Structure 1
Amino acid sequence: MAETKPWPGVNLANTDLRRATVVIIGAGMSDLIKRSQCRDFVILEKGSGCGGTWRDNKYPGCACDIWSHLYSFSFEQNPDWTRTYPGQEELQAYLENIARKWDLFRHMRLNTAVEEARWNDSDKQWKTTVRVAGETDGRFIETYTISSDFLVSAVGQLNTPQYPVIPGMDDFEGKSMHSARWDTSYDLRGKRVAVIGNGASAIQLIPEVAQTASSLTVFQRQANWILPRNDVVIPASRRALFRWCPPYRWRKRAVIMDGREESHEALYNSWSGSSLYVEQQFKVMLKRDLPHRPDLWDKLTPKYSPGCKRTVFSDDWFKSFAKPHVHLETRYINRMSSTGIEVEGGDHKEFDLVVYATGFRSVQFMYPIKVVGSGGRSLSDVWKEGPQAYYGITVESLPNFGMLYGPNTNLGHNSIVLMVEAQSRYIAGMIKTVIDGRRQGKTLAIQPKPEIVRAFNVELQNRLGKSAFADPNCSSWYKTKDGRVTNNWSGTVVEYQKKIEKVKWSDYIVEGPGADIVSGELKVGRVVEETQVSYNTIWWSAVSVLAGTVYMYATGKFKFLVSAC
């Protein structure tokens, strides 16, 4: 029968509500799907759109603190970034464009929150229970369970807001919000605003809030190392060059990456050139922007080594405190009242708005999802001494499971996108192996050997213990209360990429009828983006070619060569 519809039919992906080969939790920044040849997958996203942290964070001034040309996938480099440090809306648009290009939206189940993921030992599958939110999406079914051969966590580290514990918080009758849950309908004009916290988000939003609020008080616990961002608009001519001359764009990205990698030495040597550079630039900017406020110099200067917390980039942080209506408060908060905040010493100040710029529950990976692995062992039991994973990707007692941006894969010096790409390749290789087994009618379960995971993490923590991350003079979201660094990688990006460019099956327990297809090593490779040829080599090569051309022209050989061609 001929087609009579005036529009083409659209095939929906994964029409089986309760079955998929791969279940991915989270629709943030991941290129896993490109690496895997599997098209029978679902992406479960608790929000109403993709983008992860760039969808959640909409506070004034929200932007990336990594150069735009490095904060993008190697296979989807964006030549059209409008600024060196793009804002939230531009980053969100970049991710949405990728989702459209790779046809990911039809695989997404939005407004779908994962409540539990449980491994079934008998059929070697994950059973993921979800709850559907919203009056429309949940009108037919509120909860259901999906069976899958593989489970991927792409929820990241910075997704659940962390609120401070302050006596009387619930008594405050004014407006309050977390920086990651910004109410864009709230009018800041003429408001008395308090911002609790001074991390990366606070340092971006405070200069913006200071422009409209009648008064602004910043409650600082510890000062941060600040470097100038030097954010500028990328002119149309440069963007055209990036688009039509890809080698130029690749070179720019490589140079940025090299510079970031070189800064890693500051994390292990407080007397390194990188560390001294941070301190020098910080002092110059502080005194330049606040020349008449020496009373603030000491309060705004960190008492710990650069790198213990993430170094923050800003062009207007210090300038904000030069404004008469902006105040820095370093005394401890005693309590909150119905009208404001009382600090150490009894002083009380009234506010219309309190902003909690206090970060995320970063050391509680996958919170609040309940995860149960083989033998009924829960993830909370596996991680009772703190989150840990093999290269931050695979976890003991969790078969056919992989994490993106898992424990000890965050960076203090470079772009996290570079790490996520490497992890995606590794996980895609594992998924392919499981799928190959299924295609042969064989099931298999792959999980890291406990002794391998423990040995890896002992070595990792020994190295991290010597880094600035472990400096006891500062508190950060990188580590637990007892000082164990659970979030950051110990080395450079290139070092990490090289370590996981192969899946060594000897590091894993492989069970099931399909175990016979797994042996040796699986090469997944890596994207080589660091500079391979120095500028000096390029320069002298160009000079040599030019000199040779001049010589041949002068001796008449060039004319002979042209005629011969």
Structure 2
Amino acid sequence: MGGDMPWPQVAVGNKTHTEAAVVIIGGGISGMCTAIDLIKRNNCRNFIILEKSGGLGGTWRDNKYPGCCCDVFSHLYSLSFEQNPDWTREYPGQEEILQYLMKVARKYDLYRYVRFNTAVDSAKWDDADKKWKTTVSVQGAKDAEFGSTYTITSDFLVSAIGQLNVPRVPDIPGLTEFKGKIMHSARWDWSYDIRGKNVAIIGNGATAAQIIPEIAKEVGHLTIHQRTPNWVVPRLDAPIAPWRRNLYKYVPMVRWRKRADYMDFRESVYEAVFNNASATAQDFETLSKEHMHTQLADRPDLWEKLQPNYSIGCKRIIISDDYFPVFQRDNARLETGRIDKITANGIVTDGKEEDYDLIVLATGFRTLEFMHPIEVTGSAGRSLSSIWKSGGQALYGVTVESLPNFGMLYGPNTNLGHNSIILMIEAQSRYINALIEEVITARSRGHNLVIMPKATRIEEFNDEIQAQLRRSSFADPNCNSWYKNKDGKITNNWSGTVVEYQKLLSNVNWSDFDLSGNEADQVASRQKTHIGRVVEESVVSYQTMGLTALSLAAVCAGIALRNAGRLRLR
């Protein structure tokens, strides 16, 4: 299959079905970015992407609920090396994002590397062989006839599962007793006709705020069960005119500048979500209150119920223009009482039962377990569950104690409350590919290399960021969020800006790792490998650009006048 190409340029074929240089778990943005970097940076095609669903796209394939869209500007929510000039709106919808990702996958021929309907059951590091053994279950009926389970051996393992993967079902008594329809937002059943139905939605976070305005137009009655109110700011979404799309396509410098402007703005929001005492945070709180009072001017009775009593940024800020207006509708009602239980017919709230046809669970994901439900076992037989018994942590959110030749994207403490996660993913992919390069280079020489982060360095790094996070809005005791565990440890969010994170990952410091194998000394002797980063923030101000343009215009005018003078003299 590979012809005369050397390993690892040879793709995995039939005879090597259970062997690969790299195994990537997950076919979402993280897995795709890692795969593309393997091809572009390492000239490596000897990898497998394991995807448990039937298509690429990750969260943008799984989440197909009404109103599903991104809360990051479309021109910032794309890979830096595959910017999309054709976004039709300022904020992209789920279907458009998925179309974009599928287009990228086709361009880089990623489908040939993917094994769909293949769920990872376990991943174990073999200390003797210095390899990962990843066991999978084949979920496609016909494919399972060839073998329902098998194990893949690889030199390197990458987790591209992310944090928003496994739906979280609330622990409410009687949930399984309900005789009507129940669906989680991440598993929306479009075959169910909601028109005219009596519907309850449990949850009022970012997902619920997108679903509620859409289904309120169609259902007979909608009850929104709110546990905690959220900060909501204007979205100001709008279509992108065809002439602007053409400008972005044919004059890419304009698109690059637009992306830089969005990057600058989003980075400026960091102060608001991190430090509630900052002027930026106070401005956003004022903006949110005015937004609610304006849109619910006739419903002051709801103001107190919808007003948070915690720091802005402690939970994800909702960006919406159509959430508050729902409460002006005759067929919508806000319920802030405590849910006692669910019965066969409906929901009991503060002792009062109401019947429903449909209950929507907009209750998020199991974000704190990261690689759940995969059983991961590292060096010396250490399980990931024991390593993370006090909560997930990783060096730079990428490498994990006792897990050799392993990297993860969108891992512990890499989530953002202010900017595009793709900016973080690209930095992580570059960093992981720098590690992979050393491992596969060693193997291509007939040698081996084992890279494992030092436990002391991981503790030192996490002590630093936890100290910062404890002073942040994320730590506000007045709110619970998916950012922190039951002990209050913030396991999900990054403590700084995107640019700070990108700079942190722009070099591999080999002193961070315990290196072993017969190529260890050679790698360690380099001390550092420079990777670099994508610079997307503005480096030239509009004022400088304007002065430069005027200077160029003046030079051009001077040349034109001089040439005209010469022509007259002739």
Q: TM-score range by the shorter chain?
A: over 0.9
Of residues 143, 163, 167 in structure 1, which corresponds to 2:169? 163
User: Is this contact kept in 1: 2:11–2:47, CA < 8 A?
Assistant: no
Question: What is residue 509 of structure 1 aligned with on the other side?
Answer: 514
Check if 1:538 corresponds to 2:545. yes
Q: Count residues in correspondence.
A: 551
Query: Which whole-Å CA distance do the structure 1 matches of 2:21 and 2:194 have between them?
Result: 48
Distance 1:552 1:27 in 2: 56
SS state of the match for residue 420, structure 1?
Answer: helix
Q: Distance in 2 between matches of 1:523 and 1:551?
A: 45
Residue in 2 aligned with 1:35?
Answer: 37
Is 1:202 matched with 2:208?
yes
Match status 1:275 vs 2:281 = yes
Contact (CA 8 Å) 2:404, 2:450: kept in 1 or not? Answer: yes
Q: Which residue does 1:24 correspond to in 2?
A: 24
Alpha carbons 2:62, 2:187 under 8 Å: kept: yes
Which of 209, 229, 232 is the matching residue for 1:226? Answer: 232
The CA deviation string for residues 435-463 of structure 1, in whole angstroms up to 9 with x for no partner, is 11001111111010000000000001000
Shift of 1:385: 0.8
How far apart, CA to CA, are the structure 1 residues paired with 2:274 and 2:328?
34
Q: Quote the Cα distance in structure 1 between the aligned partners of 2:94 and 2:396.
A: 29
CA separation in 1, counterparts of 2:563 and 2:200? 73
Aligned with 1:388 (options 378, 390, 393) = 393
Residue equivalent to 1:82: 88
SS in 1 for 2:452: strand
Which residue of structure 1 lines up, in the alignment, with residue 13 of structure 2? 14
> Partner residue of 1:53?
59
**Structure 2 CA distance for aligned equivalents of residues 41 and 195 of structure 1:** 42
Q: Please name the residue that 1:361 is paired with.
A: 366
CA contact (8 A) 1:549 1:558 kept: no
Q: Distance in 1 between matches of 2:509 and 2:566?
A: 54
Answer whether contact 2:11 2:46 (CA < 8 A) is retained.
no
* Secondary structure, aligned partner of 1:299: helix
Q: In structure 2, the residue corresponding to 1:238 is in which secondary structure? A: helix
Matched with 1:4 is none
Q: Are residues 563 and 103 of structure 1, via their aligned partners in 2, closer, same or farther at CA, if it must alter by over 3 Å?
A: farther
CA contact (8 A) 1:115 1:129 kept: yes
Alpha-carbon contact 1:14-1:41 (below 8 Å) kept: no
Alignment of 1:310 with 2:316, yes or no, is: yes
Residue in structure 1 matched with residue 533 of structure 2 by the alignment: 526
Determine the C-alpha separation between the residues in 2 that align with 1:535 and 1:273.
Answer: 25
Displacement of 1:153:
0.1
Letter in 2 for 1:374: S
How many Å apart are 1:543 and its aligned residue?
2.9
Rounded Cα–Cα distance in structure 1 between residues aligned with 2:13 and 2:296: 58
Q: In the alignment, residue 377 of structure 1 is paired with which amino acid?
A: R
Q: 2: CA distance between counterparts of 1:295 and 1:343?
A: 20
AA paired with 1:32?
A: T
Q: Which residue in 1 is equivalent to 2:68? A: 62
Question: Is residue 2:298 matched to residue 1:292?
Answer: yes
Alignment pair present for 1:481 and 2:480: no
Match of 2:115 among 109, 115, 134: 109
Q: 2:5 — aligned with what?
A: none
Kindly indicate whether the alpha-carbon contact (under 8 Å) linking 2:204 and 2:226 is maintained by their aligned counterparts in 1.
yes
Structure 1, residues 149-181: CA drift from partner, whole Å, max 9, x if none? 000000000000001111111111010010000
Q: For 1:371-410, list aligned pairs within 5 A.
A: 371-410=376-415
Q: Secondary structure at the match of 1:176?
A: strand
Aligned runs of 1:79-478 on 2, under 5 Å? 79-344=85-350, 346-478=351-483
Between the aligned partners of 1:19 and 1:262, the Cα distance in structure 2 is 46
DSSP-derived class of the 2:347 partner: strand
**In structure 2, do the counterparts of structure 1 residues 549 and 121 end up closer, same or farther at CA, with 3 Å as the change threshold?**
same
Secondary structure (helix, strand or coil) at the match of 2:122 reads strand
For 1:259 and 1:468, locate their aligned partners in 2 and report how far apart those are by CA, in whole Å.
Answer: 19
Per the alignment, residue 8 of structure 1 pairs with none
Instruction: Please tell me the residue identity of whatever aligns with 2:13.
Output: N
User: In structure 1, how many angstroms separate the alpha carbons of the residues matched to 2:358 and 2:169?
Assistant: 15
Task: Tell me how far apart the structure 2 counterparts of residues 524 and 477 of structure 1 sit (CA, whole Å).
Answer: 32
Q: Deviation of residue 80 (structure 1)?
A: 0.4
* Structure 1 residue matching 2:514: 3-state secondary structure: strand
- Superposed displacement of residue 348, structure 1: 1.2
Q: CA deviation at 1:38?
A: 1.1
The answer (yes or no) to whether the contact 1:332–1:343 under 8 Å persists in 2 is: yes
Q: Provide TM-score, normalisation by structure 1.
A: 0.95
- Given residue 120 of structure 2, which amino acid in structure 1 is its aligned partner? V
Amino acid at match of 1:419: M
Shift of the 517–562 alpha-carbon distance from structure 1 to 2, 3 Å rule, reads farther
Question: Residue type matched to 1:29 in 2?
Answer: I
Overall identity of the aligned pairs, in %: 55
1:459–1:561: structure 2 CA closer, same or farther, 3 Å change rule? Answer: farther
Matches of 1:155 and 1:458 in 2, distance apart? 25
1:117–1:372 CA contact under 8 A, matched in 2: yes
Cα shift readout 1:188-216 (whole Å, capped 9, x = no counterpart): 10000000001111000000010000000
CA distance in 2, matches of 1:426, 1:311: 30
CA contact (8 A) 1:14 1:40 kept: no
Distance 2:419 2:181 in 1: 36
Once the two structures are superposed, what CA deviation does each residue of 1:93-141 show, in whole Å capped at 9, x if it has no partner?
Answer: 1111111111110100000000000000011000000000121111120
Deviation at 1:268, TM superposition (A): 3.7
State the alpha-carbon separation in 2 of the partners of residues 338 and 403 from structure 1. 42
CA distance in 1, matches of 2:63, 2:192: 15
Change (3 A) 1:340 1:549: same
